[in-house]
Structure 1
């Protein structure tokens, strides 16, 4: 009997140790007070605005909680791809993440936001994101996924880079273009005549270098941050998506914080959003200049044929993922709808 009790005690201790090791919210003691150390992951390099916004967020959280909560930042896909980060926030192995369109694979109404030529410009995007419609979208996402949307950070428009000259939509025919694994992006580029190829962003540089793909599309600062301009000859000013990156939080982590800490995190997210957004336009201009200085030719195109080509995709995905949400966005358009 004593042997059985000893074995049982050993197993209990081992189980408790394993549970402690699996907890992602590390605590330490400073001056007799517990400090919660949380992890924030993103896929960008340390030179990018996402990272700078993350650093500001971490500084603000520590300041506003008087040091009771600290945020450690893991850039450059250290904690995994966008999908890995989102899955991590669902199970609580990641506390915060900055993620973009891949969220549509977890909460389908986000698919609407990824439609090419949905938003007219940055003002149209922000009127949606920072209004009641954007807030409602985040509340619904929390209920559906267990992921808490803290803030939307804006991004510069997505542009096309390619090794084959594109002066018009006709020149897109057959170009093999890397796209994120997002339905609206795949179908949109297919409708425009390209050959869309979903691929993790970490594989893009080498795939362009070896000719596996001809082209890719991203905001200018994203392109230079990953040095994609080193293996591309042209940047085409398509402005096809005015997009966002969302600062998300595991609701499991959120519920472990005190009410004061929760409020501090929310305030820090808002201030970090404003800080990051101010950097975006400036960094986008610098990135375009970097590419031009490196010999990348920048091409202006008539966007209207591109926009018209994707309207059938708008209609199909609006019916599939949220006609009401789609119409809300179109009603805000300065173009008076499609």
Structure 2
């Protein structure tokens, strides 16, 4: 009986091993081994995140001569942002595109969410694509086992309201939806608004019914969600210059050959440039779409808003990393 049980257990283990291998490698028609990797993100198939992911997959295939194939899983098919990051840590997910949620796994990333941290887009690029960004990604890799390949740029976040806002004093009493991010909540409180964390899926109906008065997002997010249909003004606050990070499981990275690793890194840079161009174009088109729909675009003195959030900068820099904060502020453009 014991011999029979041992044989059955051995057969089961062999089956698991074989099936597990089939999930990460395959043999093409010319008998060449192909490594199949999975990239997940939370956005829809029509979103720029997905378009850029497809471009990345095409570049990896081209640069590895077909030895590495990247399959794309949009719309949270592989799980939420948190699921994707945890999957990369254990090696069940190979790549993902993730934004601010990474701060839940490596807290210094919280500093990147501070309103008015970056002076403009050039300032952010100078840091992210310079030595500061490289060091941040290396520190994250050592702390989490997740490798940062590239930072993809997002358009600046803008404020939309049904009340004219020209200076911080005009924010008094305004209920504004914000993501559930410490820097965002504290930043808008400091500017005089009443921030209300809420899922993005609830924003349109909440604006429509008056549960909230305002919200803030990149222009293309605003138009894709039709938020401009229930808001009269877009205030050009440019309060957060954001990013989405192309991440990779280090467990997966270490399984590739040196040539394949180099190919993945080169593909990430080219996909980054491709995505950044798409974002800039989409932002311009979204602003024009809102103008055409009758939304009034308001320019403001950003320094007046920034001055109010500097105490929040100090507190969170002391909490999450003064060295990182200072390196960002002192980055030469």
Tell me the TM-score normalised to structure 1 length: 0.89
Rounded to whole Å, the distance in 2 between the matches of 1:20 and 1:224 is 48
Residues 48 and 222 in structure 1, CA contact (< 8 A), matched pair in contact too:
no
Give the match for residue 149 of structure 1.
148
Shift of 1:174: 3.2
Matching residue of 1:99: 98
Q: Which moved more, 1:259-268 or 1:179-188?
A: 179-188
Quick check: 100-109 or 169-178, which moved more? 169-178
| Structure 2: distance between partners of 1:68 and 1:303 | 50
- Asked if 2 retains the 8 angstrom alpha-carbon contact of 1:117 and 1:307, the reply is yes
**3-state SS in 1 of match to 2:46:** coil
1:10 aligns with 2:5: no
- 8 Å CA contact 1:170–1:193 kept in 2: the answer is yes
Cα–Cα, structure 1 residues 142 and 24, in superposed 2: closer, same or farther, change >3 Å? farther
Task: Quote the residue 1:137 is aligned against.
Answer: 136
- Deviation string for 1:166-204 (max 9, x for gaps)? 333223223332322322112111211222233343444
Aligned residues between the structures: 332
- Secondary structure at the aligned position of 1:134 is classed as helix
Residue 242 of structure 1, CA deviation? 1.2
> Where does 1:281-296 land on structure 2 (aligned, <5 Å)?
281-296=280-295
Which residue is equivalent to 1:236? 235
Q: In the TM superposition, what are the counterparts of 1:20-39 in structure 2 within 5 Å? A: 25-30=23-28, 31-39=30-38
SS at match of 1:151: strand
1:65-144 correspondence to structure 2 within 5 Å: 65-144=64-143
Question: Secondary structure, in 3 states, of the residue corresponding to 1:245?
Answer: strand
Distance 1:25 1:315, change over 3 A: farther
Residues 284 and 271 of structure 1: is their aligned pair in 2 closer, same or farther, counting only changes over 3 Å? same
Change (3 A) 1:88 1:207: farther
Shift of 1:16: 5.1
Residue in structure 2 matched with residue 274 of structure 1 by the alignment: 273
Residue of structure 1 equivalent to 2:50? 51
Of the structure 1 ranges 93-102 and 156-165, higher mean CA displacement relative to structure 2 is found in 156-165
Q: Secondary structure at the match of 2:310?
A: helix
Structure 1 residue 227 displacement after superposition: 3.4
Distance 1:19 1:106, change over 3 A: farther
Contact residue 91 and residue 252 of structure 2 kept, 8 A: yes
Matched residue of 2:122: which SS? Answer: helix
**Greater shift in the superposed pair: 20-29 or 220-229:** 20-29
Gaps of 5+ in 1: none
Deviation readout 1:180-238 (Å, 9 max, x if unpaired): 23221121112112222333434444444454433322211222233333443332111
1:23–1:93 contact (8 Å) kept in structure 2: no
8 A contact 1:82–1:99 mirrored in 2: yes
**Pairwise CA distance, 1:59:** 0.6
2:327 equivalent in structure 1: 328
The alpha-carbon deviation at position 286 of structure 1 amounts to 0.4
* Cα shift at 1:132: 0.7
Name the counterpart of 1:162.
161
Q: TM-score by structure 2 length?
A: 0.91
**Conserved 8 A contact 1:24-1:38:** no
CA offset digits 1:55-86 (Å, max 9, x no partner): 21111001011111111222233333322322
Distance 2:169 2:217 in 1: 21
